[in-house]
């Protein structure tokens, strides 16, 4: 007996309503997975007062976020290729594959950003020039943009940590339009956060989808240049 293969079109349907329903389903499930895997950090952030003395704890609360976003990026890549009705399975597979690879560089990165944030909040108290604050802010922005590239590479490829670090730095300058796109996503994210922390949580799936779409040229270049 020949086994029948179920294609995505067979599972979802061919009409516009089933297809749009599948899209909505994907976004809802990925949203739920993002909230679930980020929950420890979200709870800790809600318990902390917005005070400079809590910056180290805020950095600690951000530890779960990068693996969650990496898993979403992994799921969104499947969504763009072979859409089916198993987004949770793809998300968990991405999370399981990526969590350790991401944490190896994400935790030190949070440490660096935390140190920069502490120094920025105390510049006036110790009498340093405002130019130093501008320089530290520029360094922080570069670190964040490097992280944006590194996260995509960790999510979709099995590169060593040092290779992720090198390629992340390479693509910051090598793909300037993508880097500018990440700046736009960052500005949008900050604007949503400024409006409401909970609004950011509710829009996590669309924002990660936008991030994954923005990173597509980097993914294509990494596949062409650095994989067999």
The 10s digit of each residue's pLDDT in 16-49 is: 677 888 899 999 999 999 999 999 999 999 999 8
Domain count, the chain: 1
Neighbours of 224 (CB within 10 A): 8
Interior/surface letters 107-127, b for 16+ CB within 10 angstroms, e for the rest: eebbeebbebbeebeeeeeee
Dihedral sign from CA coordinates of 107, 109, 115, 120: negative
| 3 belongs to a structural domain | no
**Stretch 111-128: mean pLDDT:** 82
> Which structural domain range is residue 173 located in?
13-218
Measured at the alpha carbon of residue 200, what is the angle toward residues 141 and 67, in degrees to the nearest 5? Answer: 65
| 1 belongs to a structural domain | no
**Stretch 111-136: mean pLDDT:** 83
Q: What local confidence, expressed as pLDDT, does residue 11 receive?
A: 55
Q: Which residue has the higher pLDDT, 123 or 31?
A: 31
Evaluate whether 61 touches 45 at the Cβ level (below 8 Å): yes
Evaluate whether 143 touches 112 at the Cβ level (below 8 Å): yes
Question: Could you tell me what percent of the chain has a pLDDT over 70?
Answer: 90
- pLDDT of 2 > 60? The answer is no
pLDDT band at 228 (very low <50, low <70, confident <90, very high): low
**Stretch 90-110: mean pLDDT:** 97
* Prediction pTM value: 0.90
Measured at the alpha carbon of residue 162, what is the angle toward residues 158 and 167, in degrees to the nearest 5? Answer: 75
| 71 belongs to a structural domain | yes
| 125 belongs to a structural domain | yes
pLDDT band at 5 (very low <50, low <70, confident <90, very high): very low
| 2 belongs to a structural domain | no
Q: Which residue has the higher pLDDT, 205 or 2?
A: 205
| 191 belongs to a structural domain | yes
Site of tokens 């900050």: 190
| 72 belongs to a structural domain | yes
| 226 belongs to a structural domain | no
Q: Which residues contact 12 (CB under 8 A, 6 or more apart)?
A: 18, 19, 22, 83, 84, 85
Rounded Cα gap, residues 144 and 163, in angstroms = 17
pLDDT band at 1 (very low <50, low <70, confident <90, very high): very low
Q: Which two tokens stand for residue 216?
A: 């597509």
pLDDT tens digit sequence for 124-179: 665 667 788 889 999 999 999 999 999 999 999 999 999 999 999 999 999 999 99
Closest to 85 in 3D by CA, of 32, 10, 31, 16: 10
pLDDT tens digit sequence for 189-223: 999 999 988 899 999 999 999 999 999 999 999 99
- Which of 72-76, 133-137, 181-185 has the least mean pLDDT? 133-137
């Amino acid at each position: 007996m020949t086994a029948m293969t179920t294609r995505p079109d067979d599972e979802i349907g061919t009409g516009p309503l089933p297809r749009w329903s599948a899209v909505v389903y994907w976004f809802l499930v990925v949203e739920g997975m993002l909230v679930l895997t980020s929950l420890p950090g979200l709870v800790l952030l809600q318990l902390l007062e917005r005070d400079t003395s809590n910056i180290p704890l805020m950095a600690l609360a951000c530890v779960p976020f990068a693996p969650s976003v990496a898993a979403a990026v992994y799921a969104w890549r499947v969504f763009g290729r072979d859409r089916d009705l198993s987004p949770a399975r793809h998300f968990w597979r991405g999370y399981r594959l990526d969590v350790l690879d991401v944490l190896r560089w994400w935790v030190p990165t949070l440490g660096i950003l935390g140190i920069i944030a502490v120094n920025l909040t105390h510049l006036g108290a110790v009498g340093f020039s405002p130019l130093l604050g501008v320089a530290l802010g520029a360094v922080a922005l570069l670190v964040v943009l490097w992280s944006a590239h590194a996260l995509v590479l960790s999510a979709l490829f099995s590169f060593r940590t040092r290779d992720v670090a090198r390629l992340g730095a390479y693509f910051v300058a090598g793909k300037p339009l993508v880097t500018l796109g990440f700046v736009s996503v960052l500005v949008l994210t900050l604007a949503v956060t400024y409006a409401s922390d909970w609004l950011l949580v509710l829009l996590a799936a669309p924002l990660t989808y936008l991030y994954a779409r923005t990173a597509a040229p980097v993914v294509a270049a990494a596949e062409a240049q650095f994989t067999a």
